[in-house]
Structure 1
Amino acid sequence: MRRSFSIVLSVALVITLSTYGVARADEKQPRKIVSGWIPYYSVRTVMPFIKKLPTTEAALPSAPVTCEPNEYSPEDIAALNSSYLFTNKDLMKEVMPFWYTLKAPTVIRDDYSTGNPSWPMDDALCLMRKSGVKIIPTMTDGTSKLVLSGYLANSVTRTTIVKSIVDLVNIKNFDGIDLDYEGFAFVDGSTTWAKTAPNWVLFIKELSVALHASQKLLSVSTPYAFNPSEKAKGYTVYSWAEIASSIDRLRIMTYDYSVAKPGPIGPISWTEKTLQYAISVMASSKVFIGLPGYGRDWITAVQGTCPVSAPPGLIGGAKAATFKMNYAAAKAIIDGATPIFDEKFSEATYSYKKVFNGLTAKGASTSCSVNRTVWYQSDR
């Protein structure tokens, strides 16, 4: 999940590529094909914060955290059972909460506690496990430019990072870890990839052995890549072919195709191209595609002078606004537009115009018209 994502991206869905095969006729039960990234600041979007009923029995400090139904009010249990996580547990395979950031070889920052100071992580974990999902928290790279690549180039600091991650996974009894180290791709620069890639591979192999020794899973989330023989631009630093045998999950960020200029979020041909390369170097059961939980709305032109009462930032080329996917239909109605389905890109799009009338800062009458274009992935 890109660091630049807006807060509206509360949960990005991930669907395993193995579901592209034809289901057997005797397969009656829903297949658990969906997992989801959960940012630390939006845990409430998938489950409610519920607190235990007051009790006179104080739990021992070393006692395991419990979350039995009789410890909560009937209203809270009803809210939990109707939450996104619990109502979709027949499809949910695992969740990847964005709860940790690597800051140094022995320092892993707890982002959950910062974002949810009144609800202990152990309580949230206990309730999540009641839904039956695996919990594989995502760890991002919180170091500065080239710092993490330097750590991985040193065998001592590399091993220290491995130990820090494995200790965290085992202490919290997570089902594994998901690495979202995007600094290599978006901060360090492509000229560093040839040097970073071999050390990344060594790190993944070492971490894989350590995690698998404890029956834990190793997941890696990366931007797209393509077959090197095609000489197409892709984020080769993550060395999919070289780490294929060591990882249990590859989660590909098949979104953000268009950011600065209007266009599709994750066009189908582009997505299929990176998927085909992924399954050519590893088992398809390991490959997941990340779907955008959002759409974008770009300003394409502004005519006239906007009044001071108009929303700020109404200039051509401004950063696109984002919106949640489940708001797309309502947004189109508000915008007075009829979305069309673009067959080439397999996404919905429309353009619209807003006119703003009012006064300038000096009190003179003025107006402006703002042309905008919207793209998003629909259920089609």
Structure 2
Amino acid sequence: MRTSAVGKARGFLRGLFVGFAALLLVVAALVAADGARADSAPRRLVNGWLPYWTTTASLASVTANADLWGEASPFWYRATGAATISPQPGAGDRTVVDALRSRGVKVVPTVTESLNAPAMAALLAAPAQRAAHVAALVSLVTANGYDGIDLDYETMNSGGTATDKAAVRSGFVTLLRELGPALDAQGGLLSVTVGPRTRADDPSWAVFDYAGIGPSVDRFRIMTYDRHWRGGPPGAVAPLPWVNTVLTYAVTAVARGKIEIGVPLYGYDWPADPAQPDGYGIATSANYQQAEALRTQYAAARQWSATDAAPYFTYTDPTGVRHVVWYNDAEATRAKMTLIEKYSVRGLAFWAVAYEDVRQWPLLRSYAVQRSTKLTVSAPAAITYGTTMTVSGKLSTTAGAAVAGQKVFLQWRKAGSSTWDTVASTTTTSTGAVSMRRTPASNGSFRLYAPPSWSYLSSVSAVVPTLVRWRVSASLNDATVTRGTTVRLTGKVAPVHAGVTVRRQRLLNGAWSTVATTAVRSDGTYRFSFTWHTKGTYTYRVMVPGTTLNTTGYSGALKLSVS
């Protein structure tokens, strides 16, 4: 019975109407290079259907929130044969088209169909009839200057046998393979609306082959609603666990960037009927305003199913019949909108515009905006080779709020290079802080990079240079000698670069003076030999001059006593 539930819901909804300093030698935290940027404009993550029976209110809703809309699909046409596409009331209304286009919303009218499974199977099996149907659909787009079309072919899932539906399933894929390129050649989008399926062999909505349809279409709208429908027992129209199950399957079969999650902006009022097997009679449809009016009329308490992410209430009418009402409000829409980020899909598709709780629009707008951010960074100005240092920073919005739970990468650029290498990553704490440890081998610069996420724009910190000193060890073979004794001063330099100059320096009258030079050997060692003939105490050190790769390094001071 469920295979026709969505179509039946739409029929009953025609009567509905309605018009979101700790480190040594640390460079202080620096302001991010791109911190002054503004938040993004809202992403156009909403598409949906405009029923012809609520055109005025639907258009008003879309135009009032046009910054969130990418495409709108007026319910304007019905295919009754291979070459026959009949208009619905108001089809092609230029006032509607111009109002949408002037606000940056593409016009992608919906075409339904009247052919059941046997009739559609026959049409799709005949190449000439398929070609006629493709030509009719393309002509509809080009003749009216539309941005594309949306095929909402639900009747073909009704009637006939399993064999008929299998023929429709394969034939519909063939049709779309022919229609997609033909529309694309005219610059038109192809959107297809499909029934909800939870696996490839799901018997529900068997005419829709997700994997077969996906490559040919630009938009893949899933009617993730009517899990509980007017002819069945009460329950959430689009319970969240079920929607998740549908999407979990869909993203394995269709490119995520094409998928749009159908969101019901309506509900059902089920009257109790003890004569029925499930205890309830046929439900009547209710948009948000009608459901709330009923709740207020009967002073019913709004209840919330956290599992289903849907509101409901009960009441008893004047005849003593108990009713259960499940519907959609702004909080339910909020739960669905977060699935865009969770599954990395294109957005939402509302059935039907003008039925909604208008409080959903600020929630959607807030969700659609990426906040601008700033990223500070701190790092030591200089370290000695082999020392582990800490690079820290903080990610916040440009308004100053901490950004928690966001990935941040540490990038390093070697001195003399123009290439940034990512060397570490972490996630911001609840205060937006990050901290990463590195042991650089040479001079270079660090920066932090926060990539864009659903909620935030990317951010790059300022660049902080860190010099890496040569690590120089030095020792005397004997620190107390007699005159005429040869003294050996040896040590190591790291990192090892054979041939690097090493200078032996002596402290004289408060100043260091170079008295000899040598070069680093291939194993990183060096050696000085010298002899004193004058008694006294002498102070030495070893200095390795700076290069592009490493900055000047010094050994500790050594005292030599000559008697």
Change (3 A) 1:10 1:39: farther
Partner residue of 1:208 out of 163, 170, 180: 180
C-alpha deviation, 1:122, in angstroms:
2.5
**Which protein has the larger Cα radius of gyration, Structure 1 or Structure 2?**
2
Match of 1:187, SS? coil
1:179 alignment counterpart: 151
Say whether the 8 Å CA contact 1:10–1:38 is kept in structure 2: no
| Residue 93 of structure 1, aligned match among 70, 84, 102 | 70
User: Distance between the aligned counterparts of 2:286 and 2:97, measured in 1?
Assistant: 29
Partner of 1:322 in structure 2?
A: 285
Please tell me the residue identity of whatever aligns with 2:176. I
Q: CA deviation at 1:271?
A: 0.6
SS in 2 for 1:323: strand
Deviations 1:174-228 (A, max 9, x none): 1111001112223345442222211111100000010011111100001101222
The count of aligned residue pairs is 301
Q: Distance in 2 between matches of 1:250 and 1:10?
A: 27
Letter in 2 for 1:186: S
Distance in structure 2 (CA, Å) of the matches to 1:208 and 1:252:
18
Q: Distance in 2 between matches of 1:372 and 1:181?
A: 33
Q: What stretches of structure 1 of length at least 5 have no aligned partner?
A: 12-24, 48-82, 304-315, 357-368
1:45 to 57, 67, 84: 57
Q: Distance in 1 between matches of 2:70 and 2:273?
A: 44
1:370 aligns with 2:324: no
Pick from 107, 117, 123 the counterpart of residue 151 of structure 1: 123
Question: Are the counterparts in 2 of residues 141 and 148 from structure 1 also a CA contact under 8 Å?
Answer: no
User: Which residue is equivalent to 2:302?
Assistant: 339
Match of 1:33 in 2: 45
| 1:45 to 1:152, Cα distance in 2 relative to 1, 3 A | same
Question: RCO greater where, 1 or 2, for CA within 8 Å and sep 6 or more?
Answer: 1
Provide the residue aligned with 1:223 in structure 2. Answer: 195
Give the fraction of aligned pairs with identical amino acids, expressed as a percent: 30
1:100-249 alignment runs, 5 A limit: 100-113=77-90, 121-144=93-116, 146-228=118-200, 232-249=202-219
Residue 349 in structure 1 maps to residue 349 in structure 2: no
Map 1:3-82 onto structure 2 (within 5 A).
Answer: 3-5=8-10, 6=12, 7-8=14-15, 27-47=39-59
Q: Which residue of 1 aligns with 2:240?
A: 268
8 A Cα contact 2:265 2:329, kept in partner: no
Specify whether residues 331 and 355 from structure 1 end up closer, same or farther in structure 2 by C-alpha distance, changes over 3 A only. closer
Deviates more, 1:242-251 or 1:343-352: 343-352
Q: Report the Cα distance in structure 1 between the residues aligned to 2:321 and 2:109, rounded to whole angstroms.
A: 42
Q: Deviations over 1:119-151 (max 9, x none)?
A: x72233222221210000000012355212211
The one-letter code matched in structure 2 to 1:31 is R
The one-letter code sitting in structure 2 at the alignment partner of 1:246 is: S
Name the CA distance, whole Å, in 2 between partners of 1:189 and 1:180: 21
User: Shift of the alpha carbon at 1:96?
Assistant: 0.6
Q: Classify 1:88/1:189 alpha carbon distance in 2 versus 1 (closer, same or farther; 3 Å).
A: farther
**Counterparts of 2:160 and 2:142, CA distance in 1:** 31
Cα distance in 1 for partners of 2:86, 2:171 equals: 23
Cα distance in structure 2, aligned partners of 1:286 and 1:353:
44
Higher helix share: 1
State the Cα distance separating 1:287 from its structure 2 match.
Answer: 0.5
Mapped contact 1:302–1:371 kept (Cα < 8 A): no
In the TM superposition, residue 237 of structure 1 has moved relative to its aligned partner by 1.8
Correspondence for 2:225: 255
Q: Whole-Å Cα distance in 1 between the matches of residues 257 and 117 of structure 2?
A: 33
Q: How far does residue 232 in structure 1 lie from its aligned partner after superposition?
A: 4.4
Superposed displacement of residue 294, structure 1:
0.9
What RMSD in Å do the two structures reach over aligned CA positions? 2.2
Asked whether the equivalents of residues 348 and 378 of structure 1 are also in contact (C-alpha less than 8 Å), the reply is yes
- Partner of 1:95: helix, strand, or coil? strand
Q: Which amino acid aligns with 1:378?
A: D
CA distance in 1, matches of 2:298, 2:165: 44
| Structure 2: gaps of 5 or more residues | 1-5, 19-36, 332-563
Task: Give 2:561's aligned residue.
Answer: none
Q: How far apart are residue 328 of structure 1 and its match?
A: 3.1
Identify which of 257, 262, 275 aligns with 1:290.
Answer: 262
In structure 2, distance between residues paired with 1:37 and 1:3: 16
What's the CA shift string for 1:16-56, capped at 9, x where partnerless? xxxxxxxxx97521111111201122211123xxxxxxxxx
CA distance in 1, matches of 2:40, 2:66: 16
